[in-house]
Amino acid sequence: MVDANNGALPMTVDCVLHNGKLYFEGTIIEGGLAIDGDRIVKIGREPNLPAAGERIDLNRCLVLPGLIDAHVHLRGQRLAYKEDFLSGTQAAVAGGFTTVLDMPNNEPVICSVDSVRKRVELAERKIVANVGFLSSFPHRTDEIADIVREGATAFKLYLSEQIGGVNIEDDDELLQAFTEVSRLNMPLAVHAEDAKMIKNRTNVEKAAGNNDVEAYCRAHPPEAEVKAARRVLQLAEKTKVRVHLCHVSSEETVALVNEAKKKGMDVSCEATPHHLMATSRLLTDLGAPALTDPPLREKKVMEALWGGVREKVIDLVASDHAPHSIREKTADSVWSVRPGVPGLETTLPLLLTKVNEGLLTVNDVVRLLAEKPAQIFGIQDAGFLSEGGMADITVVDLHRVGRIDVDRFHSKAEYSPFDGWKVKGLPVKVFVNGTLVLDKDEVVADEGIGRVLRSRKSLTK
């Protein structure tokens, strides 16, 4: 190890990856890297790499920092029939992600010290990728600091429905919670959709006997997002909390975020691959497998989101991997269908396809799926390749052609709005904490090799 040896390289390292193209400090260098234990100990051209117990030829594939999906529902516990820690993190590494951030709207809801502790304990034995856990607000604001100490990476607020503590209709309560999260300098992710508006519109549609996907879209209009986003940004301005808007899906929300950034607020936002790659037409064509919340939008929204990505108003892409059972996706009425699509195994191939089409660069992909998520969520030592850094590595073959096939998913979800789509660009090898976990199309990881991320203020480890 570098540290144990005063910075000197060991004579023989565990593993050398060679004949690759490395994304290093913003440019591509031809060469490889050396891994010893869980660290990268050398990055360089072939002659400068040390002797190794194992040498892996990368066949000139692209070596990226381990990718991070900042919005994933791993489920487990009472929702393990939809996904569990093992299947969810297997899906992550199969899709090229070495780290995922898990959402707290589970059963039980994660919104207390005990529930975070229990979830971490269960996950630690199973995960094959690194996982950070988000917590919803607890019932008492003074528990927020304890939840941080327990290891939560960030907080998550749903304005679309009451999940966890703090009454979402009460600005004073929200202000108090925002103030505490801000004091602790923790990030706050928000599902911004106005609960009352959704509820009223849903009741109107139901009363009229409407039960198709178009009715669902009318009940979840862009205005519901804009209204909630405005409210959140106002609260964030007052409290100076670091706020992150999840899955933005309207032109106006992008404009609001842009304005807030220009004012100097610490605000960020994400777009999902489904909102970037598909419109409500796909929802009309496919029905339930493409039903998500917020729903797919019109073409002009999709174009505005691409504008947001280009202008860097949209900071990152996150899958919002939200798996459900087939039974939950096949109800007669749209009001009984669970919204959510699995995205861990489709996000990277879809984005790499855009690179091949010339709509994104490799630098964009690294920014959107590694650098920005690491920065915004304070994931230390992640998002870039470095000597002495953790050996979390995603190797991709930009030229490999494939087809999205739900039958080959590692996720328990057996559907996808992208099923059958042709893609160009696939992950071929993934290393998590120095261990090879994806080799070609096979997940080769032992259960439990992933780490639980702890916030910097965590006192538990």
Residues with a known catalytic role: 320
Give the binding-site size for ligand DOR (rule: CB under 6 A).
9
Name which of ligand DOR, Zn ion, none residue 389 binds, using a CB cut-off of 5 to 8 Å depending on partner kind: none
For ligand DOR, the closer of residues 72 and 437 by Cβ is 72
For ligand DOR, the closer of residues 21 and 274 by Cβ is 274
* Binding residues among 58-87 for ligand DOR as defined by CB under 6 A: 73
Closest listed residue to residue 59, CA positions, set 30, 34, 88:
30
Task: Using DSSP bridges, classify how beta strands 154-158 and 130-135 pair: parallel, antiparallel or unpaired.
Answer: parallel
Segment contacting ligand DOR by CB under 6 A, of 118-126, 332-340, 349-357, 436-444: 332-340
Write down the least CB distance from residue 67 to ligand DOR, Å: 21
Residue whose Cβ sits closest to ligand DOR: 340
Write down the least CB distance from residue 338 to ligand DOR, Å: 6
Give the binding-site size for Zn ion (rule: CB under 5 A).
2
What string marks each residue from 312 to 331 as x (binds Zn ion by CB under 5 A) or -? --------x-----------
Name which of Zn ion, ligand DOR, none residue 340 binds, using a CB cut-off of 5 to 8 Å depending on partner kind: ligand DOR
Total Cβ atoms within 10 A of residue 384: 18
Write down the least CB distance from residue 324 to ligand DOR, Å: 6
For ligand DOR, the closer of residues 338 and 400 by Cβ is 338
- 297 interacts with ligand DOR by CB under 6 A: no
Write down the least CB distance from residue 189 to Zn ion, Å: 9
Residue whose Cβ sits closest to Zn ion: 191
For Zn ion, the closer of residues 126 and 191 by Cβ is 191
Name which of Zn ion, ligand DOR, none residue 105 binds, using a CB cut-off of 5 to 8 Å depending on partner kind: ligand DOR
For Zn ion, the closer of residues 21 and 220 by Cβ is 220
- 293 interacts with ligand DOR by CB under 6 A: yes
* Binding residues among 109-148 for Zn ion as defined by CB under 5 A: none
- 191 interacts with Zn ion by CB under 5 A: yes
Identify the residue among 105, 130, 268, 346 touching ligand DOR (CB under 6 A): 105
Q: What angle do helix axes 195-207 and 222-239 make, rounded to 10 degrees?
A: 160
Segment contacting ligand DOR by CB under 6 A, of 17-25, 168-176, 334-342, 416-424: 334-342
CA–CA distance, 24 with 426 (Å, rounded to integer):
20
SS (H, E, C) the chain: CCHHHCCCCCCEEEEEEEEEEEEECCEEEEEEEEEECCEEEEEECHHHCCEEEEEEECCCCEEEECEEEEEECCCECCECCCCCHHHHHHHHHHCCEEEEEECCCCCCCCCCHHHHHHHHHHHHCCCCCEEEEEECCCCCHHHHHHHHHHCCCEEEEECCCCCCCCCCCCHHHHHHHHHHHHHCCCEEEEECCCHHHHHHHHHHHHHCCCCCHHHHHHHCCHHHHHHHHHHHHHHHHHHCCEEEECCCCCHHHHHHHHHHHHCCCCEEEEECHHHHHCCHHHHHHHCHHHCCCCCCCCHHHHHHHHHHHHCCCCCEECCCECCCCHHHHCCCCHHHCCCCECCCCCHHHHHHHHHHCCCCCHHHHHHHHHHHHHHHCCCCCCCCCCCCCECCEEEEEEEEEEECCHHHCCCCCCCCCCCCCEEEEEEEEEEECCEEEEECCEECCCCCCCCECCCCCCCCC
- 339 interacts with ligand DOR by CB under 6 A: yes
For ligand DOR, the closer of residues 190 and 436 by Cβ is 190
Q: Are 229 and 192 in contact (CB under 8 A)?
A: yes
CA–CA distance, 18 with 350 (Å, rounded to integer):
27
For Zn ion, the closer of residues 194 and 320 by Cβ is 320
- 102 interacts with Zn ion by CB under 5 A: no
* Binding residues among 182-211 for ligand DOR as defined by CB under 6 A: 191
Segment contacting ligand DOR by CB under 6 A, of 45-53, 164-172, 336-344, 373-381: 336-344
- Contacting residues toward ligand DOR, per CB under 6 A: 73, 105, 191, 292-293, 322, 338-340
Applying CB under 5 A, the residues found at the interface with Zn ion are: 191, 320
